[in-house]
């Protein structure tokens, strides 16, 4: 885990600002609530955490990289109106507790063993916004190891206990300019 942490720290040292909100938040923005508690899981520099907090949610943002978390704290401190609790946390060793969030956002992070714990961490009626790389149309962005990319429809299977409210996995049919060809986007709700 230390080697992984060092690699991510190194990457984030070379990056300045938090990225724009992810496609799953932009495309399904109308489904994002404006109150409640949210977790940006494996948040990196926290572009999604900041966006969710700007919408009115109380946001926890967790990541392995201390460099990323320090940057996110600084970015959040520049926006006094918002609430982001950023924390260095190994999510495999310390997953979120059951029934603890109204919304969980996972972007470009995939650990299949964590999926049941993510679903369990949603409160009844809670929403999962998930976006990560697929194997189809691989190339360009994302991990080169196919183990870290989704098989077709895999996100639907991993979270089969939730009700799907929004889904896009366009693969080779995607319009090139959309940059969606190598991504799966899902919004899913935990039953009340
Ligand atoms: C591709 S980045 C995505 C970051 C962010 N979600 C985004 O979209 O900008 C993957 C992130 O997962 C984090 N990560 C990897 N393994 C982790 C673990 N076991 N616990 C917490 N974070 C982890 C890395 O530090 C890195 O920030």
Residue 186: CB within 6 Å of ligand 1?
no
At residue 176, what are phi and psi to the nearest 5 degrees?
-50, -40
Percent of the chain with pLDDT over 90: 84
Sheet holding 58-63, edge to edge: 84-88, 58-63, 37-41, 101-107, 122-133, 183-189, 163-168
Rounded to the nearest whole angstrom, what is the distance from the C-alpha of residue 177 to the centroid of ligand 1? 26
Q: Inform me whether the pLDDT recorded for 10 exceeds 90.
A: yes
pLDDT digits (tens, 9 = 90+) for 67-110: 999 999 999 999 989 989 999 999 999 999 999 999 999 999 99
How are beta strands 37-41 and 122-133 bridged, if at all?
A: unpaired
Task: Select from 98, 88, 117, 119 the least CA-distant residue to 4.
Answer: 88
Mutation probe of ligand 1 site: the residue of 15, 44, 66 with most atoms within 8 A of C-beta = 44
Residue 141: CB within 6 Å of ligand 1?
no
Residue 108: CB within 6 Å of ligand 1?
yes
Contact 28, 185 (CB under 8 A): yes
Contact 89, 64 (CB under 8 A): yes
Q: pLDDT confidence of 139, banded at 50, 70, 90?
A: low
Structural domains for the chain:
2-189 (3.40.50.150)
Residue 47: CB within 6 Å of ligand 1?
yes
Q: Inform me whether the pLDDT recorded for 152 exceeds 70.
A: yes
The average confidence (pLDDT) of the chain is 95
Q: Would you put residue 39 in left (φ > 0), alpha (ψ -120 to 50) or beta?
A: beta
At residue 126, what are phi and psi to the nearest 5 degrees?
-75, 160
pTM of this structure: 0.97
Rounded to the nearest whole angstrom, what is the distance from the C-alpha of residue 62 to the centroid of ligand 1? 9
* Mean pLDDT value of segment 57-68: 98
Instruction: Give me the pLDDT at residue 181, please.
Output: 87
Buried b (16+ CB within 10 A) or exposed e, 120-147: ebbbeebbbbbbbbbbbbeeeebeeeee
pLDDT digits (tens, 9 = 90+) for 22-51: 999 999 999 999 999 999 999 999 999 999
Residue 61: CB within 6 Å of ligand 1?
no
Q: Which atom of ligand 1 is nearest to the CA of 45?
A: 9
Task: Select from 53, 49, 60 the least CA-distant residue to 35.
Answer: 53
Residue 95: CB within 6 Å of ligand 1?
no
Could you give the dihedral angle defined by the CA atoms of residues 145, 110, 32 and 54, in that order, rounded to the nearest 10 degrees? -90
Instruction: Give me the pLDDT at residue 136, please.
Output: 86
Residue 107: CB within 6 Å of ligand 1?
yes
Task: Select from 157, 156, 135 the least CA-distant residue to 146.
Answer: 135
CA–CA dist 140, 79 (Å, integer): 33
Q: pLDDT confidence of 142, banded at 50, 70, 90?
A: confident
How are beta strands 58-63 and 122-133 bridged, if at all?
A: unpaired
pLDDT digits (tens, 9 = 90+) for 163-185: 999 999 999 898 887 888 899 99
Residue 166: CB within 6 Å of ligand 1?
no
> Using CA positions, which residue lies closest to atom 10 of ligand 1?
109
């Amino acid at each position: 885990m230390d080697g992984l942490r060092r690699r991510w720290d190194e990457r984030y040292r070379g990056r300045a600002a938090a990225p724009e909100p992810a496609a799953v938040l932009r495309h399904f923005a109308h489904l994002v609530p404006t109150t409640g508690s949210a977790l940006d899981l494996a948040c990196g520099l926290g572009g999604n955490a900041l966006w969710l907090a700007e919408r009115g949610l109380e946001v926890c943002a967790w990541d392995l990289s201390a460099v990323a978390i320090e940057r996110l704290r600084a970015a959040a401190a520049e926006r006094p109106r918002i609430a982001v609790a950023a924390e260095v946390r190994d999510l495999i060793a310390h997953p979120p507790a059951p029934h603890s969030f109204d919304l969980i956002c996972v972007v470009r992070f995939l650990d299949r063993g964590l999926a049941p714990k993510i679903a369990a961490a949603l409160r009844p009626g809670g929403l999962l916004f998930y976006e990560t790389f697929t194997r189809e149309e691989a190339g360009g962005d994302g991990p080169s190891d196919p183990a870290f990319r989704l098989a077709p429809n895999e996100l639907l299977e991993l979270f089969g206990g939730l009700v799907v409210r929004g889904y896009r996995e366009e693969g080779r049919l995607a319009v090139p300019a959309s940059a969606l060809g190598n991504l799966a986007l899902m919004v899913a709700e935990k039953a009340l």
